[in-house]
Structure 1
Amino acid sequence: MVATVATAAIAIHIISVTTVTQATGESSSRIIVVVVVLVVVVVVAVVVVVVVVVVKYTVVVVVVVVVVVVVVVVVVVVVVVVVVAAAEQLEVLA
């Protein structure tokens, strides 16, 4: 279970970093922001999974929790990337 969450987190991290790098051609401050957000969300995800396992819910509940967390991570990463890109565009125009 923890291995599944860790694998998903690593995959999301690689995808998000690659997406940011391709979209911007940069890999500095944006990557740091994305990594910070991912670390926070992954820690929360691991805590949630541990609580679910300790409380001994069914496998279906665990899978649903993992899927929801993965979706939330992707949405957060996309929002962060869009906001950072928009902020930099405004700075360029100013």
Structure 2
Amino acid sequence: MHNQKTAQCFQYSVAAAVVVIVVVVVVIVAVVVVLVVVVVVVVVVTVVLVLVVVIAAAAPEVVAAVVVVGRIVVVIAVVVVGLVVVVVMLVAAVVNTV
């Protein structure tokens, strides 16, 4: 009986360890994704601003086009960040459940 109980405890501890490892990996991936998104957004915004400054003297139509592209980029960035936040919240919920 004692050995059976010990084996059961061992199974539970292994299962808990696996869950913790999976959760840690998911959290690390989520953090990396957030950092990558932030870097990409900063780079894109910087490039767009530089283009606007360089092209501003050239033609108003081009500036208008760059502004439209900038808005699209901002919308995409907001959606991606929103998705990342949802993933992080789901991971937090799983961690709390465990």
Give the TM-score normalised by structure 2.
Answer: 0.48
Report which structure shows greater RCO (CA 8 Å, sep ≥6): 2
